[in-house]
Structure 1
Amino acid sequence: MTNSNVGSMNRRKFLGTAAASALTTVGSSTLISQAVAGNKYAPHKTPNILFILADDLGWGDLSIYGRPDYQTPNLDRLARQGARFTNAYSAQTVCTPTRVGFLTGRYPARLEVGLREPLGNISQVGSTVGLPPSHPTVASLLKARGYETALVGKWHLGYLPNYGPNKSGFDKFFGHFSGGIDYFSHKDGSGVLDFYNDEQLISVPGYTTELFTEKAIAFIKKPRNQPFYLSLHYNAPHWPWEGPGDESLSTTLYSNGNYTAGGSPEIYAAMIKSLDDGVGKVLQALEETGQANNTLVIFVSDNGGERYSFFGPFRNRKGSLNEGGIRVPTIIRWPGKVKPNQVNDQPTITMDLTATILAATRVPAAPKYPLDGVNLLPALIGEKRLDSRPLFWRYRSGINIQGAVRLGNWKYLQQGSNQGLNQFLYDLESDPGEQTDLKESHPKIFRHLQRQFDRWQFEVLPVAQFPA
């Protein structure tokens, strides 16, 4: 699409129009009760779902998780109102596969797009690979049961005309398709405008985090007589590192496509403040509309942090299967169901959030696509620990391949290439920083986890042979 075809509209007009527009979803009479006269938000038996996904937020980047140099009061409050997980993991150490894992509830390596680690810009991959519209998603499953569905923010699972949120169960989409965009110009890493209202390319001024917050609030405040599912996928704090007051960087440093340069701890703090402020405003919208008590809220990051993140005791960062690359902050709030002030050390992974959403809404998974995640509600409501089960990862970057298994407190890790493979065994309870290799002193555990990883590899697609 050329610039002459780009729809340009006033920001206020756009948001106002979006808030007023109706989404055409057929409600399910078995799930949705009738609206009370005069109430703009119909009471219903099943909960609303608000899923908030941050981008490259490190495990310790919230003050309640230990960040020492700034505060995140709104997210800290959300954590105190529900459960905060300390052993939560992303499905992958980079963007695209984790999003595959969440939307499908299955290991990313079960789909080709999940092997794109991550998916490149449209100029690199075109529209040849993406999340198949025929594959069930949490959005399509909820939509079929009468939910109004929307994705605000980052997609990163394939490009038009073959792929997109509107083709995978979302009634409405406002955001970008690629992995990272400039926060002011909304151009991707190749300098191409990447900002959409559904499948229409648009030009809207504003700082991306704030635009996504405003759009999410408009969706929440829209009168409706059915429950909603809103996926709010912030691109913050992903590069380029620009705070709300750094528009000059957009026209200087990043005008030449040098998106991964620059930044500072101060800029990063400003980005997180905007994210935290945005989440606070979205939660306030739930309160103002009387929907907070009937809304399951989940907050999580798509993978470990980047160069300005705080990792606590953990080793390495995004792009690594060490703990710093896959351990992520995770918060669940559901008033009246999930008791507040919980600190839960249950090991979890992204796909568990999908299973939990479907369990909370009493929506079954598609029979031909069984979930790899488990419902976390028994651990949150019944306060009982779930049975220990292995969690698996595999990541390829160039010729380098990593694999990992966590079972209980034990972690098996392999790192290397076809030319050589290093293997490790760690006890994460006593050694969260993965400093002491125990494979020689615990050979049975080492071999057991090694065999489990090998068996799992036969259940998923083989390592991709295309450029990562």
Structure 2
Amino acid sequence: MGWADLGVYGARDFATPHLDGLAAQGIRFTQGYANSAVCSATRFGLITGRYQYRLRGGLEEPIAGAGDQLGLPPEHPTLPSLLKARGYRTALFGKWHLGALPKFGPLKSGYDEFFGNTGGAVDYFTHKAGVAEQLPSDLFEGEVRVDKAGYYTDLIAEHGQAFLRRQTAAQPFLLSLHFTAPHWPWEGPGDGAVSRRLRSLNHTDGGSLKTYGEIVAALDAAVGRVLATLEAQGLAQNTLVVFTSDNGGERFSNTWPFSGQKSELLEGGIRVPTLLRWPARVKPGQVSDQVLISMDWLPTLLAAAGGAPDPAYPSDGANLLPQILGQAPAVTRKLFWRYKANAQRAVRDGDWKYFQTAGNEFLFNLAQDSRERANLAEREPGRLAQLRADWQAWNAGMLPITDDVRTYKISGKVQADRPGN
């Protein structure tokens, strides 16, 4: 999802009333980031609260398909496993994409329930990870492959609603709804016939701005139904709701005013919509400039639940609960990214950003130049050198990017297999 794909962030071509309403009821963050410029790498950061580059599977950009032996180690603490240890009921409905069964899976990493796809992209109607007739569905109930009729966005929401109807105020829960929308293939709710004509599951195959708007509108409506069920169950007041994306936009997305897209460490590839609502504790109608990133949610949500990360696996994220509750001012962050395609590197330190691609270095002041158009490297050589050194020092503590690491480049070829083809 592009940063401006919601009405509250500037979308003009379609409406997102339910997500706009969610923003009005809590906090809209203007400087929320994904841990990576592609999906599964960010998901490693989200579920572990650590830089994905600490795990071999997290180096993949994104992780490969069902035959791969890389994934999230079941023994690694996760947000669901740590909450489960505190008595929470946990469920994931939607996209997993952190390693294939039978070696990896949601039920092995802290979730009590799972319905969804284990890989990356799936057709919204056939729920297959490709277009070949003989391919099985990549849809699982627990660890059993299933076939279900229906538009995938709606199926995910229906499972979320059913889960909520089984909950009570006495039982704390974590519900992860990992919609694939608005990921390709470009199929709105009325495009069942289109799915039969696709040559591949690929962002370049078919689609239009109109179709993209229908995909986002269906997502917005699904979120609205889930929130209505939460309200009907009497659980909305003390439930913390977060909405965000695992990378920036591509092809039909709106990333204005930023440059770049998915697979790039420019702002358009990593800055994402981020909303939070918690009626019992958070005042409505807020807009926050606090810089945050996917891996911050583990320490933050654990703190809200009265817990903390496993000390043997300290979080690289920050506990931002004091900032969310208005108990402390915004904190300055220093965040790091890397991406194999074009040898990309990035550091965000306060208002400053260091960016390198294909050996070319850039220095941007994001407060003055959110478009990343004015390279200040020659004007600020000392700052450039410092941020370069900071990145190198951080990188030395991460797993190296070796030749066997696969990566996805949206504007060019893909090394090894592209998930979904």
TM over 0.5: yes
- In the aligned structure 2, how far is the partner of 1:234 from the partner of 1:306? 16
| Structure 2 residue identity aligned to 1:333 | R
- 1:49-85 per-residue CA deviation (whole Å, 9 max, x = no partner) reads xxxxxxxx11000011001111100000000100000
1:180 aligns with 2:124: no
- In the aligned structure 1, how far is the partner of 2:196 from the partner of 2:325? 50
| Structure 2 residue identity aligned to 1:218 | A
1:393 aligns with 2:337: yes
| Structure 2 residue identity aligned to 1:403 | R
Aligned to 2:349: 407
1:138 aligns with 2:82: no
- Give the CA deviation at 1:121: 1.7
| Structure 2 residue identity aligned to 1:409 | D
Aligned to 1:47: none
| Structure 1 residue identity aligned to 2:368 | S
Superposition pairs of residues 204-219 of structure 1, within 5 angstroms = 204-219=148-163
| Structure 2 residue identity aligned to 1:231 | S
| Structure 2 residue identity aligned to 1:66 | G
Question: Which of 193, 214, 218 pairs up with 1:270?
Answer: 214
| Structure 2 residue identity aligned to 1:389 | R
1:294 aligns with 2:235: no
- Give the CA deviation at 1:98: 0.4
Superposition pairs of residues 65-76 of structure 1, within 5 angstroms = 65-76=9-20
- In the aligned structure 2, how far is the partner of 1:170 from the partner of 1:381? 28
Superposition pairs of residues 307-326 of structure 1, within 5 angstroms = 307-326=251-270
Aligned to 2:226: 282
Superposition pairs of residues 9-158 of structure 1, within 5 angstroms = 57-122=1-66, 126-158=67-99
Aligned to 2:179: 234
Superposition pairs of residues 308-457 of structure 1, within 5 angstroms = 308-382=252-326, 384-397=328-341, 400-416=342-358, 421-457=359-395
Q: Structure 2 stretches of 5 or more lacking a match?
A: 407-421
- Give the CA deviation at 1:231: 0.4
Q: Which portions of structure 1, spanning 4 or more consecutive aligned residues, are displaced by more than 6 angstroms?
A: none
Aligned to 1:171: 112
Q: Sort the Cα spacing of 1:327 and 1:223 in 2 relative to 1 into closer, same or farther, 3 A.
A: closer
Aligned to 1:41: none
- Give the CA deviation at 1:377: 1.8
Q: Sort the Cα spacing of 1:260 and 1:150 in 2 relative to 1 into closer, same or farther, 3 A.
A: farther
Q: Sort the Cα spacing of 1:426 and 1:309 in 2 relative to 1 into closer, same or farther, 3 A.
A: same
Alpha carbons 1:189, 1:259 under 8 Å: kept: no
Alpha carbons 1:339, 1:380 under 8 Å: kept: no
- Give the CA deviation at 1:257: 5.0
- Give the CA deviation at 1:198: 0.5
What SS does structure 1 have at the residue aligned with 2:396?
helix
Q: Sort the Cα spacing of 1:462 and 1:64 in 2 relative to 1 into closer, same or farther, 3 A.
A: same
- In the aligned structure 2, how far is the partner of 1:315 from the partner of 1:304? 10
- In the aligned structure 1, how far is the partner of 2:62 from the partner of 2:167? 37
- In the aligned structure 2, how far is the partner of 1:107 from the partner of 1:448? 21
CA RMSD of aligned residues (A): 1.2
- In the aligned structure 2, how far is the partner of 1:165 from the partner of 1:127? 16
- In the aligned structure 2, how far is the partner of 1:365 from the partner of 1:354? 8
Alpha carbons 2:122, 2:201 under 8 Å: kept: no
- Give the CA deviation at 1:337: 1.1
- In the aligned structure 1, how far is the partner of 2:284 from the partner of 2:171? 27
- In the aligned structure 1, how far is the partner of 2:349 from the partner of 2:78? 27
Aligned to 1:249: 194
| Structure 1 residue identity aligned to 2:372 | E
Q: Sort the Cα spacing of 1:442 and 1:169 in 2 relative to 1 into closer, same or farther, 3 A.
A: same
- In the aligned structure 2, how far is the partner of 1:101 from the partner of 1:223? 28
- Give the CA deviation at 1:251: 1.1
What SS does structure 1 have at the residue aligned with 2:92?
strand
- In the aligned structure 2, how far is the partner of 1:266 from the partner of 1:134? 44
Query: Could you tell which deviates more after superposition, 351-360 or 104-113?
Result: 351-360
Higher CA-based Rg: 1
- In the aligned structure 1, how far is the partner of 2:100 from the partner of 2:52? 18
Question: Which of 144, 150, 153 pairs up with 1:200?
Answer: 144
| Structure 2 residue identity aligned to 1:239 | W
- Give the CA deviation at 1:382: 2.1
| Structure 2 residue identity aligned to 1:244 | P
Q: Sort the Cα spacing of 1:258 and 1:443 in 2 relative to 1 into closer, same or farther, 3 A.
A: closer
- Give the CA deviation at 1:384: 3.5
- Give the CA deviation at 1:387: 2.8
- 1:217-242 per-residue CA deviation (whole Å, 9 max, x = no partner) reads 00011145421100000000000010
Alpha carbons 2:300, 2:318 under 8 Å: kept: yes
TM-score (norm 2): 0.93
